[in-house]
Amino acid sequence: MRTRITIGVTAAGLAAFALLYAPQPVLPQLAAQFRLSPGDASMAVSVATAALAVMVVPLAVLSEVAGRRPVMIGSLVIAVLAGLALPFAPTFPGLLALRIVQGAAIAGLPATAMAYLAERLGTVGLGAAIGAMVAGNSMGGMTGRLAAGIGADAFGWRTGLGLVTALSALCAVIMIVTLPGGGKPERGPVIGGIRAALREPRLLALYAVAALAMGSFVALYNAVGFRLAAPPLSVAPGLASLIFLSYAIGGTCSAVAGRIADRVGRVPIQVGGLLLAVLGALLTLPDSVLTVALGIAIFTGGFFAAHSVASGWVSATAPAKARGQASGLYLCAYYLGSSIGGTAGTAVYGAMGWTTLIAVIACWLAMAGAATAYAGLRVTNTRSSTQNLSTNTGAPLSR
């Protein structure tokens, strides 16, 4: 059963994230065809992630009523259908409209998947399971970007996006066949669950980590295609798309970080991942294809390690009857960060260059590190207060 769950959720994540970020490697081609600035072209990514952020909480709530599996399947099917229409968009506004539909549909997968894993597997091994899910997400992001970039280099951006949709349709079939049904969500009052997920200070800190880290990640990846294509690097689009092979490192780091955090604690692993991301970003500063590629790889590994730990932390911290809402709010923050940070960062690059963009990203990641430390401090204070109460009253310490 655990194997089927892992395969199904991994296939779903691969399909969803291949579709979500497929336009990223072809942003320079979109900018050239529709005569757009880098910031304007990045809207092809940002409108989808913004729609996802808006819909993730409502669809997470819907999954409390309709069930996790039906929402996951329906979401992916609609996203694939929107992807089939995407290569035929005649104008940039038409493309953006389809991307909004696609992002809204994809919203049903990530928040629901985290709650689904928590309910089906329990807390034992949850970090490793979510790490595997995030690894599938990263593999989807890598595969989708590679297929779109290489396909666009050979046949144009429309063909590149069509290849990604075909791959995602295959993954959707795998998910439908393998993902076990049955099981019922732990339901509580919807509004009460949202309130509970907003009252816990540790969760608020983790929402901030999600927004800041994801904003940094998408800003860097949105802009790197323009950086590689421009002098003095002048890398061909198909070759530049190979930068997304870094996602393989991200997938490995997410799976490993989840397992280690289960044993040694979340704070050191999450902070370490954020520091690694800062180091990678700084390595991209020299005008060298080699150092840019190395820096992107290190940055990606650090980001996915931090995200994997934060995802598991949210699921473990949230009250049982607010787990779906907490996951939804985490991902709402995550994709709002993607949308706002991705567009803002790309605009910063277009106006002030790569060095300024890296400085902005380093500041965002430092803020995420501070939020992580705060969440860890809240855990320590809570344990100390509980321990003092146990000592004073003679009551056993709850574990």
SS3 378: helix
What gap in Å lies between CA 303 and CA 275, rounded to an integer?
A: 9
**The pLDDT of residue 68:** 85
Sign of CA dihedral 41, 143, 227, 232: negative
Q: What is the rounded distance in angstroms from the CA atom of residue 368 to the CA atom of residue 333?
A: 13
What would the two tokens of residue 84 be?
Answer: 């089939």
- Per-residue pLDDT tens digits for 121-134: 766 556 666 767 77
Least confident of 81-85, 89-93, 321-325: 321-325
Distance between CA atoms of 160 and 156, rounded to whole angstroms?
Answer: 6
- Give residue 252's pLDDT: 78
Each residue's pLDDT tens digit, 284-295? 999 999 999 999
Q: What SS3 class is residue 183?
A: coil
Is 50 exceeded by the pLDDT of residue 388?
no
The more confident residue out of 381 and 338 is 338
**Residue 384 pLDDT grade (very low, low, confident, very high; cuts 50, 70, 90):** very low
* Torsion angle, alpha carbons of 86, 89, 94, 95, to 10: 40
| pLDDT greater at residue 237 or residue 122 | 237
Q: What is the pLDDT of residue 341?
A: 94
Q: Give residue-wise pLDDT tens across range 263-288.
A: 888 889 999 999 999 999 999 999 99
CA atoms within 13 A on the CB side of 313: 31
The percent of residues in the chain predicted with pLDDT above 90, rounded, is 50
Confidence of residue 102 (pLDDT cuts 50, 70, 90): very high
Q: Kindly list the distances between the CA atom of residue 248 and the CA atoms of 138, 279, 394, in Å, as whole numbers in the listed order.
A: 7, 18, 51
Please name which of 4, 13, 43, 82 lies closest in space to residue 331, comparing C-alpha atoms: 13
Q: What is the structure's pLDDT at 193?
A: 77
Closest CA to 52 of 114, 116, 100: 100
| Domains of the chain, start order | 2-179+189-387 (1.20.1250.20)
Q: What is the pTM of this model?
A: 0.79
What confidence score (pLDDT) does residue 336 get? 92
Three-state DSSP class for residue 140: helix
Distances (CA, A) of 366 to 54, 219, 277, 281, 374: 26, 16, 10, 12, 13
Q: What pLDDT is recorded for position 395?
A: 31
Each residue's pLDDT tens digit, 142-188: 889 899 989 988 889 999 999 999 999 999 999 999 888 765 555 55
